[in-house]
Structure 1
């Protein structure tokens, strides 16, 4: 079967046709990579805050739907959990969107403000190493991974310049930097103390928070503590919802996957790329088979079985899949880097995604070959000659 590379010889004979086929497959590969990449970047960025909070169990309002639409619940419910066996400490977390004024061009943009007690930090030191500045009045930490529309805050701070601006009409000072990253819901982030947060959001009622972060004692059984918290906090009233960290992440992820059109759009785009590639490869293979129909009929007359002739077409499909996938992978990697630098979204080329798109490319080409191969089966030497 492989003594004579018939499939490769047929493909390279028409070099223009081969280049057109590879361009079409490469386009389909790039389209699938882009759609899957943006979809994963959407989910990863949406849950970046959730994953980086150091907590074992989380409390939220049952009316909350996502990070961009959080509802408040009474703070006393969080402190009530301290009476549950296995709970070591709790931290109130405040979230809100405020209007940030770019200090260089004076344009405004919405930014996510994260407030918590400086004495009870919720992030590890890889995210933010120094919380001392936010103890000062009207002082915030700026996310250096925010979109550039907020201004060159990181560069100005690194140059040891005093950065002051307006935040929802209140004058604030940037006291430090951290790195969390933008998301589809928030283009930028700020960290400040709970006291500063309540100053910024004067309309917020005292004693109302957005998320309750609970840490467990070393060795405590999380599932058992989770059940005890549910029994203690949810039986009497329905004003709080108890979630594990995985449940808290899934709470956000499911919103973007099922409650918005974004997840569907990206999946549809990848499906369109698959269909487009299938059609292109089918047209190339069908044309190639039709052009060499006499040769296939001659091989049949010489005694070659349909299985051999079918294998030639499938070899052509596999060769096209490999040759079209490699440039598509390289070009998509460059587009990922360009997109990440332009949008600050966490879009990277992963092994899992590259293998998935490769498998889809092979399936796409094999499906096209399976459709085109019927032309070879119909080749009858008596009809041809």
Structure 2
């Protein structure tokens, strides 16, 4: 293990993964992703239930993202020295209250305020979960631990969000958020019982955020996070118009399930190799992402080719969060939580930018242009990884 990697703060007599705790963290990630993405599939029900337009209901997603962007860095600054388990419990309680109040919201203003608060708690969780997973894990298995802890993302995309959308369509959108509250309560109890505590960052090791940003490799990794996530979210957010305009006989929900299952494959492969082959893994993933974009570009009218492209896209993207977080840990060392606050901010800025840029492309030149944007942005990420070989994406030993 290199000296820059996040050191474990719990002494372990063996090299076993704390599997139960990591599964609880994966469940936490799952509820965070579902809370963020479910409104996109329930806009008609939300709009009808509150009595607003679908465009206004779409602000459920924007308010959440805004809360995450604005709160991630301040939340990490305030909580860097706080013990990790109480912070996890408080964040889950915040999600529980926010989802419950969303289900009970009498009007749009109250709902958006509560969604903003939920987004703020998500910014806090994204800034601390990866570092927490690494702190309770033997250092030689840090990448594998991250893969398990972050597996909630593809599971949410493949199964959780579609299930929540179906439930909302069948019973009403408020019942979906109520069900989410029940799920969060289960995760909260499991976290209390199964996740060990870990200390926060020692005061004498805390660098200001500006200094963290200037650590060798951190700025390069943040740039890769932004352009790669922007490339992904352009297609993910506008998959429905793309499928329609390219005459692919695949329903959007089916396409997203295929993507999510393929992403699990990519995540599994990342977990098995990231601790030994970080840099080759990132390069291969970005190259495969570009290949997927090229296949999407040529898939017009060919459903089998379109499905192949979605599978390649999912495999390429599935381990991206683990790869980028592992690289961040190697570059930021003891200041990993602070660096993850920057990563979370870059990630959410990419989501916001994808909504605007993707909308302009779809309305302007058509959804067929989305794979071109995917390829160009991923190529920029590939160049950044290539030129960052001295400081960023170093192997974790």
Give the TM-score normalised by the residue count of structure 2: 0.24
In terms of fraction of residues, the more strand-rich structure is 1
Give the TM-score normalised by the residue count of structure 1: 0.24
In terms of fraction of residues, the more helix-rich structure is 2
Larger radius of gyration: 1
